[in-house]
Structure 1
Amino acid sequence: MIIVTGATGQLGRRIVERLLTLVPADRVGVSVRDPRKAQAFADRGVRVRQGSFTEPAGLAHAFEGASQVLVVSVDAMGEEAVRQHRAAIDAAVAAGARRVLYTSHMGASASSHFEACRDHAATEEALRTCGVPFTSLRNGFYASSAVRFLGPALDYGRIVLPADGPVSWTAPADLADAAAAVLADEGRFDGPTPPLTASSALTFDDIARIAAQVTGRPVTRATAPDDDFLTDMAGHGVPAEVAEQLLGVFAAARTGEFAAVDPTLAGLLGREPLAMDAVLREHLSGT
């Protein structure tokens, strides 16, 4: 049985939806904190069990009978995130899974300027020593994050952010489809995958140009000094630790950590990945 964690989250839900087009429902199980939110999957024949990375003892039941377990990374950073990931990996191995998969990041590195990428690197090290084969899905940077950074510019026509560098912004929907394809073809990748990215890397200058084309309105890009960015975040009530983490995205981009472009995602999808203009159009149609 293929077990997907976090299946009521945005990425996990998409992965399960796509996986159900590739394998029978009775081969799919989900581990979720609140099974009531996964009732729609249960109605389709998916096994739904409660499981939380913060309660490792309960994961034994959630992962029972697993052939593969996909650990969807948590929405947290630092030691707590790595601790939760390790708990899930250990539980998957204890449950007898033949392979553990993990949603990592293209920039995973112990020396990254972005804390989340250091966390992914630490989790990948736990995978290397877990005792069973593993696959680390090195996902491109979510394009939805770029849209959030774009934020007020869509209304006011001006992006004010720290200096950046090219980033392979990649649609989460494409990454979900790729994860499902890898789960359905067990062993397709051993260890870290190549970067799973869109077909181009963009700076926020590029994104401003694309936003102007999509909206039909002028959009300009201004660069804010790092200290001014932190001050502005504080003025909007963002905790200092979170603001520093966000700044880490730009510091990492400036050194090229997210600039790689690779054809592997297109190969998994059987088509070109969604481009930023398509992502922006989808966002605007939903607002």
Structure 2
Amino acid sequence: MIVVTGATGGLGGATVEHLLQRVPAERIGVSVRDVARAQHFADRGVRVRQGSYEDPAALRDSFAGAEQVLVVSGNDPAADMTGLHRSAVEAAVAAGARRILYTSQQGAVPGNPYPPSDIHLATEAALRDSGVAWTALRNAAYGPLDQILGPWRRTGEITQPADGPVPYTDRAEVAEATAVILAGDRAFDGPVALTAPTAVTLGDLAEVASGLTGRTIKRVVLDDEQWVADHIATGVPEQAARFMLTWYQAGRAGYFAEADPLLARLLGREPRSAADRLAADIAA
């Protein structure tokens, strides 16, 4: 059995949907906080059990019978995510899982100024020490592009701090590739990168947007402190703004610059580029 955590979230839920296209429903289980929100999976024959990283006993029960467990990383800045991830790894080991997969992050290396990198590194260390086979899926940034580009359609400007090249990746394709790995016969040991085929800067995307819209979309680079101050002025807490700033700092230091061909191999096609996604967003 393959058990997926976080199956009522975006990435976990999409992964289960792709698994249902590849393996019988009775071979799939989900571990979720609220079983009612996973009723649509239960109705299709998926085993649904309550489990959360804060409750090791429930988690072990939700993992029972699993050959593989996909631990979807949490992102609560107020929680001890390293400790919670470690609890999930320990529960999977206790349940007898033969392989644990974990949704890590591209650029999870020492020195990365983006704080989640340290959480992912620590979780990968827990996996390494677990005594069972493991895979860390170091996913590239896969959020909506508008989260990064800002209100450029209204302003005609992409106004952010200095950045660096990033292979912005389609979350749906990350989920599909994750399902391919879970359902496949090939083992992937240790860290593997799932990224779009090319890394681009916000300046590159400004040029793409200009070509697609027929407007001149400018890339405006804001001073870090000015960017933080502007966010605070809109009601964003300073701590949150400075946290977000570290992502740009990591990008311009090159921590997210590398694109990897594995995603294309897993999908059997070329993944969507950031330019493809931007064109689809504009056409929608």
The aligned residue for residue 167 of structure 2 is: 168
Distance 1:285 1:33 in 2: 36
Alignment pair present for 1:25 and 2:25: yes
- Over the aligned positions, Cα root-mean-square deviation in angstroms equals 1.5
Distance 1:55 1:61 in 2: 10
Cα 1:186–1:110, aligned 2, differ >3 Å: closer, same or farther? Answer: farther
Distance 2:30 2:115 in 1: 28
Distance 1:46 1:212 in 2: 46
Matches within 5 A, 1:80-159: 80-144=80-144, 146-159=145-158
Q: CA deviation at 1:129?
A: 0.6
Farther off after superposition, 77-86 or 103-112: 77-86
Distance 1:276 1:250 in 2: 17
Alignment pair present for 1:244 and 2:242: yes
Q: CA deviation at 1:185?
A: 1.8
Per-residue CA deviation, residues 215-266 of structure 1 (Å, 9 max, x unaligned), is 3433111000010111111112212222112111111111110010111110
The aligned residue for residue 219 of structure 1 is: 217
Per-residue CA deviation, residues 47-97 of structure 1 (Å, 9 max, x unaligned), is 011111122221021111111100011123476111111111111111110
Q: CA deviation at 1:207?
A: 1.2
Are 2:158 and 2:219, in contact at CA under 8 Å, matched by a contact in 1?
yes
Whichever residue aligns with residue 61 of structure 2, its letter is H
List, as ranges, runs of 4+ consecutive aligned residues in structure 1 with deviation greater than 2 Å: 75-79, 211-218, 280-286
SS at match of 1:134: strand
Structure 1, unmatched stretches of 5+, are none
Percent of aligned pairs sharing the same letter: 49
Q: CA deviation at 1:181?
A: 0.6
Distance 1:285 1:7 in 2: 30
SS at match of 1:188: coil
Alignment pair present for 1:271 and 2:262: no
Are 1:79 and 1:119, in contact at CA under 8 Å, matched by a contact in 2?
no
Are 2:35 and 2:49, in contact at CA under 8 Å, matched by a contact in 1?
yes
Distance 1:177 1:249 in 2: 26
SS at match of 2:194: coil
Tell me the TM-score normalised to structure 1 length: 0.94
Residue-pair matches, total = 284
Are 1:139 and 1:175, in contact at CA under 8 Å, matched by a contact in 2?
yes
Distance 2:212 2:46 in 1: 39
Cα 1:82–1:217, aligned 2, differ >3 Å: closer, same or farther? Answer: same
Distance 1:170 1:57 in 2: 35
The aligned residue for residue 259 of structure 1 is: 257
Are 2:113 and 2:247, in contact at CA under 8 Å, matched by a contact in 1?
yes
SS at match of 1:61: helix
Q: CA deviation at 1:39?
A: 1.0
Whichever residue aligns with residue 226 of structure 2, its letter is D
SS at match of 2:244: helix
Whichever residue aligns with residue 245 of structure 2, its letter is L
SS at match of 2:120: helix
Cα 1:232–1:218, aligned 2, differ >3 Å: closer, same or farther? Answer: same
Whichever residue aligns with residue 171 of structure 1, its letter is D
Farther off after superposition, 109-118 or 25-34: 109-118
